[in-house]
Amino acid sequence: MDVTGFSVLTAIIFIPIIAGFVILFLDRKNRDLVRGVAITAASAVLALSLAVFFGYDNYVKQAGGLIDQQMTMLAGGGDLSGARMFVDALAFEQRIVWVESLGIAYHVGVDGVSAPMVLLTGMVAVAGVLISWNIEDRLREFMAFFMFLVAGVYGVFIAVDLFMLFFFYELAIFPMYLLIAGWGWVKLREYAAMKLTLYILVGSVFALVGAVAMYFAAGAFFSGSGAEVFQAAVASGILPADSAPYSWSMVQLTLAAENGAFAIEILGIEGLSFARFWFPFMFIGFGVLAGVFPFHNWSPDGHVAAPTAVSMIHAGVLMKVGAFAALRAGVQLLPDGAQTHLPWIVFLTLINVVYGALIAFRQRDFKYVIGFSSVSHMGLVSMGWATMNLTGMTGAGIQMFSHGAMTALFFGVVGMVYDRAHTRDIPSLGGFMKVMPWVGVAFVIGGLTSMGMPGLSGFIAEFPIFQGMWAASEQISLQLGSFQLSNYYSVIVILSALGIVITAAYVLRVAGQVFFGEFDAEQFHDVGDIAAPDRIVLIILGAPLIILGLYPPIMAPMIESGIRPLIALLGGG
């Protein structure tokens, strides 16, 4: 594939950046122009994201397309190579050498896991701009920072170069800090913004050191014992012709992982390989942003303190950035480490699922309910990664999209209720279905999705995760000294199904109290239905939940095609 030409993904990154700068220099008083530029940019990006998603869908499904190729490969045509499969899966690529002597390149592309994320980001970007339509305080700065945040998030999803992934990851953090600290809920915003920023940075910089170590280990391998592998990869087109042994390209690092570059023993401790040592840094480092227990603590406070649009993008997209980066830079690049560590990390994800749901059940604040439910649902994503089989990981991929749209919808609903009722205290709300039917219906759709009701996307996501867990139960065991723990994945499935029950309980409780029940006409006399922009938000975020629930083939085969290289790397067929 031609990787030197212009890619639509480049436009997707740079449109929000340019729009952000343009907005910063507009007249502060001209609010319509500010909004106009922001919504134009966001819509353009959404349109391009749709083009990418369906373009990639076609790339995957067409006759002789990616799935056919992968099936041929799995059937024994050609060597089964994870790096090869990963390269083939990439589309819309563009590569420009950035710092040649260090092997850093601007390299973008999407695969089956990131293409749905690109679409999700576009949806939430438009929804975020629309829901912030009437912000009174410094609208111009808000929109500009929001645009920068969107650009950073996009950058992480489409990075093929590991350095670039870090670059955009850190780039996203600063606008997020300012958005929460500047426009968030007054009581909590400074504390929550700082807490969130520091948590996320701590995770990412430790991962960065791990990434640097990987870079050197892979480079030493390719310029030493793996020189032949390197030359063969260049000759067969896996690596571009101008590659050097030392490189940040994730394709090249994947190749190194596959050929045993990270199996070297370090620190002189027997059995402690490079991959085993660094995997926790990479996986949990990024997992912090995905809310992995016990590093989830920033998340509820952060979500509650943030203004609605930022909660939406934060819980909807940014937590997926964490889960995605943990998959890309953790599982994919250090598969040996994944096999060692994920069997115990799965316990953390179980705590996420059950504990998050229990805490959500106990909350009185509407927004905290949603905040903790995010922690619970993101636990399912990490649990899906921990299955290390096609079914479970595909489920986790779908869950990323489904939960993203669903949580963004939830936070949108909370924001709309709070804007009009001026309280988020669940017991004092009631009967809002009558005055805000759109919002009520949207909440019910989201709620049913989060319970995993068939016909909605939550089911399509959660069912394969549990199925994958069950299937993994026989393969995975955990060695604790002389004691071997086996078949425990099935126990974890049963326990985490408990989380679903609790989810149903709190969703129904909230729906019952907020949207049905007694309406206090005196206290909420000025509460009216929502206007057109808010309705568009609910449609953009709610419709995909139903479409995906009724017609899973729109996304599932694509995500499967993105997971297959990982399965090959993890040693499965």
Partner 1 sequence: MGEFDLWAQLPSVLPEVGLTALAVIVLFADIYGSIATRRNVVFVSAVGMALLALVPLIWVPDPAQFENGVLLWGGMVNYDPLSQIFKVMLLLSGAVTCLMALGDKGVGDKGEFYLIVIVATLGGLMMSSASDLILVFVALETLSIPLYMLASFRRGDLRSAEGGMKYFLYGAFASAIMLFGFSLLYGFAGTTNLGGIADAMSGGFEGGLVAVMAALVMVVVGFGFKLSAVPFHFWTPDVYEGAPTPVTAFVSVSSKAASFALLVRFLTAVFPPDLAIAGVMIQDFWVNLLVVIAIVSMTLGNVVALRQSNIKRLLAYSSIAQAGYTLIGVAALQGMDDSLAVASVSFYMFMYIFTNLLVFGGVILFITATGKEDIKDLAGLNRRSPWLALFITIGLLSLGGIPPAAGFFGKFFLFQAAVKSNLVGLALIAVANAIIALYYYLVVIKVMYVDVGPDDEIPVGIPRSYAWALGITASIVILLGTIAVTPIYNWAALGASGL
Binding site for partner 1 (CB under 8 A): 98-102, 141, 163, 167-168, 170-171, 173-174, 177-178, 181-182, 190, 193-194, 197-198, 201-202, 205-206, 208-209, 212-213, 215-216
Question: What gap in Å lies between CA 471 and CA 183, rounded to an integer?
Answer: 46
Check if the beta carbon of residue 427 is closer than 8 Å to that of residue 366. Answer: no
CB of 102 to partner 1, least distance (A): 7
CB of 168 to partner 1, least distance (A): 8
Query: 3-state secondary structure string, 314-328?
Result: HHHHHHHHHHHHHHH
Judged by beta carbon, residue 138 or residue 422, the one nearer partner 1 is: 138
Judged by beta carbon, residue 198 or residue 501, the one nearer partner 1 is: 198
Judged by beta carbon, residue 133 or residue 167, the one nearer partner 1 is: 167
Can you read off the two tokens belonging to residue 377?
């649902």
Judged by beta carbon, residue 168 or residue 524, the one nearer partner 1 is: 168
Judged by beta carbon, residue 190 or residue 529, the one nearer partner 1 is: 190
Contacts 24+ apart (CB under 8 A), 75-83: 80/568, 80/573, 81/238, 81/258, 81/568, 82/254, 82/258, 82/332, 82/335, 82/565, 82/566, 82/568, 82/569, 83/233, 83/238, 83/251, 83/254, 83/255, 83/258, 83/565
C-alpha angle 255-257-263 in degrees, rounded to nearest 5: 145
Q: CA separation (Å) from 93 to 4, 13, 161? A: 8, 13, 11
**Which element (helix H / strand E) includes 128?**
helix 114-131
CB of 378 to partner 1, least distance (A): 23
Q: Is 144 exposed, middle or buried (0-12, 13-18, 19+ CB in 10 A)?
A: buried
CB of 408 to partner 1, least distance (A): 25
Is 93 strand, coil or helix? strand
CB of 180 to partner 1, least distance (A): 10
Judged by beta carbon, residue 112 or residue 287, the one nearer partner 1 is: 287
Judged by beta carbon, residue 90 or residue 256, the one nearer partner 1 is: 256
Check if the beta carbon of residue 21 is closer than 8 Å to that of residue 41. Answer: no
- In 3D space, the residue among 125, 87, 124 whose CA is nearest the CA of residue 109 turns out to be 87
Question: What gap in Å lies between CA 75 and CA 495, rounded to an integer?
Answer: 37
CB of 416 to partner 1, least distance (A): 25
- Write the single-letter amino acid at 441: V
CB of 146 to partner 1, least distance (A): 14
Judged by beta carbon, residue 297 or residue 339, the one nearer partner 1 is: 297
CB of 166 to partner 1, least distance (A): 8
CB of 203 to partner 1, least distance (A): 10
Q: Residue 8: CB partners within 8 Å, gap ≥ 6?
A: 48, 51, 52, 92
Judged by beta carbon, residue 53 or residue 277, the one nearer partner 1 is: 277
